[in-house]
Structure 1
Amino acid sequence: MEQQTYPALKSRLGRVLVVDDEANVRRLITITLTKSGYDVVEAEDGGQAIAALNAGDNPLMVDAILCDIRMPRINGLEAIDYFRSQYPSVPVVVLTGYPDVELAVGLMKKGVLDYLVKPVSKEELLTVIQQAVQEHRILKDQFVT
């Protein structure tokens, strides 16, 4: 497998990993975040996201992860468990088309920052991503020191 390399961070706002199996949803979110000043890396499922985060000598550094739940191969729940265990300072935001209060509560207990239901407004998405990036900047200082 060819090793993916990622460009240096271009934006002062931060880099977001968008994980969703629906290409149209991923693209719309990417456009929204990019136009708002964020760098975005896309993954179509949890496996691709995990691979991106562990890309050999050039691991992907992100400030926030926006992740769907229902995806093929490695689903969002499995990916979120991995993200939280390996990258505890990186906030995870769930974006799903399947509202489920029990699941939302369980994920929040696991450390997920927020649980958004599709369709989500541009304003809500940007507010939550801004909050996630700010939280990451605070948390990474705690985990580094």
Structure 2
Amino acid sequence: MKKRRAPDLTEDVVSSILDSIDGWKGKLTWDLLIAAVEKTTGIEYSRFTLSAYPEIANAFRLRKETLRGTWTGEQSVPRDEKVRAALEQVERLQRSVQRLRSENMLLKEQFVTWALNAERKGVTMLMLSAPLPKPSRDQSKASKE
């Protein structure tokens, strides 16, 4: 029996995967991430599918580098549950900020590449920055009649 193809990742699933990576503690491998995603979504995605999304691949790489450099096991944990929860939230938000900064840098590099390639083809920055035309909704109604 042939294995069925997993459905495409939705924006919500990608966001959930990124949150999972941001909060990851301990060893991080693609197999462990795939298992965690399957546990939350009920769908087994392949490493190829997950790594095809640049934001997932980038978050995975950053988190793995961070864990490799700083993970030393459990450190002293505050006794107050509220303090522990707040510290975990701060750590998760810091990792999220780090990932988003890295994504932003990659997007800026992509923009510069596109701008230079457009300029080589004779497209000016003024042309690229022109506002998009508004959709003509009245025209589509008139054409149906």
Note whether the superposition's TM-score is higher than 0.5.
Answer: no
Give the alignment's TM-score, normalised by structure 2. 0.35
Give the alignment's TM-score, normalised by structure 1. 0.35
Q: Which has the higher helix share?
A: 2
Q: Which has the higher strand share?
A: 1
